[in-house]
Chain A
Amino acid sequence: MSLPALRIRGVTKRFGPLVANEAVDLDLARGEILALLGENGAGKTTLMNILFGHYVADEGTIEVADEAGALRPLPAGSPGAALAAGIGMVHQHFALAESLSVIENVVLGTRPLLAPGLGLRAARRRLDTLMRDSGLRVDPNRRVGALGVGEKQRVEILKVLHRGARILVLDEPTAVLAPQEAEQLFGILRRLRGQGLSVIFISHKLGEVAALADRVAVLRAGRKVADQPVAGADKTALAALMVGREVVPSRRVPQAPGPALLVLDRVSVPGERGRPGLVEASLTIHGGEILGIAGVSGNGQAELAGLLAGMKTSSVGTVRLAGQAIPPGPAGAVASGIGRIPEDRHRDGAVGSLGVAENLALETLSSPDVQRWGFLRFGRMRETASRAISAYDIRCPGPEAPVRLLSGGNMQKVILARAFESHPRLVLADQPTRGLDVGAAGEVHRRLLEARNRGAGILLISEDLDELLAISDRIAVMAGGRLSEPQAVENVTLAELGLKMAASGTGQDRAAA
């Protein structure tokens, strides 16, 4: 066997009654790419947070190879110690200070705090070498806030390399990338592997695991259930291991679309902070169809979603829902029959301290089911909530339970219930399955398809191409604020989508420059 870089033995971590990791063993060799596969909530991130010192394990040991290759125990609970031992981590949410420059982000924390200077010149020289060796290119003087997502990720990896890391941990790195960008990243990782770097690659996508990794370990419900070389691994078997049962994806039965429902005619919505916004988008959604919008975040999706949710107004162009203009504001959108599932359910979806019943009522506060003469009708609200709780299988202590205590999946079900309560004509689903496990995501898909089958038009904005290909009738691509001509899903290939996403996928970078 090759030289070991990392040895994890018997790591267990409990949060109250919840066991996040149970007796996990993991080995990583020098110059190896290990894929850590598992569903949301399987314990991948917890394990990596223990490795990086954010959490302390209840049991178990971690040893890391030093420069000479000898394994040494890693002090627990200290990100500083993990960094010193040569472990670098790139989180899903980037840990970058946006108002600072690339080089400032790179040198942060690398010198004693009371040192008299920042040592920028030396750092810049070192960064140049690293960029040449790794192929990661980015302008060190740019403000991080002005960079595109792909570039930010490059900065994160450069930060890790700059600190001389020997082990690189990447948490779902491709979630935010277009397929071509992901391909580029894989090339860079292979090159770094050749230079002796060990990589742990966290993912729940089997395809990219097969394309990149040398070995794959599968976590399920906190336990390691498989650990094997990728060569010869059976994808279906891995998927079943990951989920714990056969996965039956939601199936779309083709149906003839109804009449045109929502028509956008050359609509522009100004973007924030120098983003392109929505540029002259034209689009028709019919009743009884799901129109998928593919693309990397920040290419105008937020503006499109905001427009339909009533949170943003167009500067140019016309929007018609069944031939009528939509009254302004979110209340106008709700009143004209648009069901809305926001991208960020914690920020825009739920009010954490309010109960399930109150959250369900928030969009319809003037309805006689909620109030009479300005007083809340708790009885009716509770009935509505009880019905939703059983219909949507919302796991909660009761209609009064504050939603902040609910899991992500159950909170999303509350929002689904609210959006579908009034049988909307049009549904805006903005990243509806982000962060949900396979079971909860399947439930969301089932509900969207159900609404489509009964004749509602659905706009599905997603970064997950598999999701789009599975349930959309037609797919359009957003890039640089522009919307491509939608195509029937039967005629769309992954490669083609990727090409369109990348074609102006860096539009955001250009606009910000």
Chain B
Amino acid sequence: MIRFEPRTGISPARSMGLRLLAVAAALALAAIPLGVAGAPILPAYAAMLQGAAGSVFALTETLARATPLIFTGLSAAIAFRARLYNIGAEGQLYLGALAAVAVGSGAVAGPPALLVPLVLLAAAAAGAALMLGPTFLKGRFGVDEVVTTLLLNFVVLLFIQMMLEGPFKDPMGGGWPQSEPILPEAALPPLVERMRLHAGLPIGIVLCLLAHVLISRTVLGLRIRAVGENPAASAYAGIPVLRTLLTVGAVSGALAGLAGASEVAGLKGNLTADLSRGFGYAGIVVAMIAGLQPLAVVPAALLVAGVFVGADTMSRSHGVSSYIADLIVALALLCVLVAGLFVRFKVRWERA
């Protein structure tokens, strides 16, 4: 029989090591479907590594792909800390992107110093607003937020399609359902000329630092940790549980909204209904790999982005479907979840 003995403490390095081991395990497991698909496993993984980090261009691609994942990963990490399971980052991302386009494509004029913050603020507000409903329903009536946020993802995507075919449709778009482009003054500036890397990345990194300080050093952070671990005891101690949850929900939604702004204002230039390649869901995996630690979100996002970017290369060179990336990421989530057991407990096999 398995016995779990609580650990008194585990070093952050060891805990991170266990999570990395879990990702390695996910890669090893993904070799099975790769093999079944007829791909040579080691060369395929080599191509993946090459595509993710084999050149300066590859690295910048990975960094560009990591940018939205930092936002959505941080969004999930903070929410999950309070045991608020926000699975709606996908929807919040889209609504944030829509708000960014609404503000940044000509509705407001001004210099970049005004427009860029305005675009980001609008996106954050939209994402936050979307998350407040499910958070309130959970805190007040006990409605499972996982189900409501998931269902809202579908509603938002339909809403986006409706907007792109209606009021937001670009008259110059040749009939495609896409929004008008973001004004150059409202766009996040590129970090390197002619590369896809943009100012969203440093913004995301700074937000991770801020979130780290928030969670570990402030009263609000202590409230969040207390409410996540034991809402009953928190309420008994006089912590406003619902208000804390609403704050967390708003922050989490805002971060996911920023992911949308970062994509449209930094990378794509306009909004289409296929803006996100599951960044919202991948953010959950990023957060879990990071052990819900804001500082670890950046490397975790790089790792997941590397898998996605590398898988595209692998797909081209070995003819394997790029869905292998989604498969690896899903496996990584489950492996990291299991690894969490070893972080919290000494796991022993023994007689009962």
Contact = CB atoms under 8 A, between A and B. Distances in A.
Contact of A405 (B8, B219, B233, B237): B8
A55 interface: yes
A354 interface: yes
Interface string B214-246: 000111111101100110111111111000000
Contacts of A363: 237-238
A413 interface: no
Contact of A376 (B222, B233, B351): B222
Contacts of B234: 351, 362
Contacts of A376: 217-219, 221-222
Given A347-B233, A351-B234, A374 B218 contact: yes
A99 B163 CA distance: 49
A352 B231 CA distance: 11
B219 A365 contact: yes
B144 interface: no
A458 to B, nearest CB: 19
Contacts, number: 84
A434 interface: no
Contacts of A342: 236
B352 interface: yes
Contacts of B352: 54-56, 77
B48 to A, nearest CB: 37
Contact of B219 (A56, A310, A311, A374): A374
B5 A375 contact: no
A354 B225 contact: yes
Interface in A331-381: 331, 333-334, 340, 342, 347-354, 358, 361-363, 365-366, 370-371, 374-376
Nearest to B223: A365
Given A330-B237, A347-B232, A348-B236, A374 B8 contact: no
B236 A365 contact: no
Contact of A375 (B218, B229, B239, B240): B218
Interface string B338-352: 000000000000011
Contacts of B222: 354, 358, 361-362, 365, 376
Nearest to B221: A376
A397 interface: yes
B295 to A, nearest CB: 18
Contacts of A333: 238
Contact of B226 (A331, A340, A354): A354
Interface in A70-102: 77
B235 A311 contact: yes
Contacts of A351: 225-226, 229-230, 233-234, 237
B6 interface: yes
A404 interface: yes
A112 interface: no
A371 B236 contact: no
A10 interface: no
Contacts of B225: 351, 353-354
Contacts of A361: 222
Given A55-B352, A77-B351, A370 B219 contact: yes
A16 B240 CA distance: 40
Interface size bucket, A side? 35 or more
Given A56-B352, A376-B218, A353 B237 contact: no
Contact of A310 (B218, B223, B238): B238
A375 B1 CA distance: 45
A77 B6 CA distance: 22
B345 to A, nearest CB: 12
Most chain-A Cβ atoms within 10 A of its Cβ — which of B217, B220, B237? B237
Contacts of A366: 219
A329 interface: yes
Most chain-A Cβ atoms within 10 A of its Cβ — which of B217, B232, B233? B233
Contacts of A362: 222, 226, 233-234, 237-239
A351 B229 CA distance: 6
A309 interface: yes
B229 A352 contact: yes
Contact of A354 (B5, B8, B218, B229): B229
Contacts of A358: 222, 226
A266 B225 CA distance: 39
Interface in B228-269: 229-230, 232-240
Contacts of B8: 397, 401, 405
Contacts of B232: 347-348
Given A77-B352, A370-B219, A348 B238 contact: no
A329 B240 CA distance: 9
Contacts of B6: 404-405
Contact of A352 (B221, B223, B230, B235): B230
Interface of A: 16, 54-56, 77, 309-311, 329-331, 333-334, 340, 342, 347-354, 358, 361-363, 365-366, 370-371, 374-376, 397, 401, 404-405
Interface of B: 1, 5-6, 8, 217-223, 225-226, 229-230, 232-240, 351-352
Given A77-B1, A309-B236, 12 more contacts: A330-B238, A349-B236, A350-B230, A353-B225, A354-B225, A362-B222, A365-B219, A371-B218, A371-B219, A375-B218, A375-B219, A405-B8
28 contacts: A77-B1, A77-B351, A77-B352, A311-B236, A333-B238, A334-B238, A340-B236, A347-B232, A348-B232, A348-B233, A349-B236, A351-B229, A351-B234, A352-B229, A353-B229, A358-B226, A362-B226, A362-B234, A365-B219, A365-B239, A370-B219, A371-B219, A374-B220, A376-B217, A376-B218, A401-B8, A404-B6, A405-B6
User: What 4 pairs between A and B have smallest CB-CB spacing?
Assistant: A331-B238, A362-B237, A330-B238, A348-B236
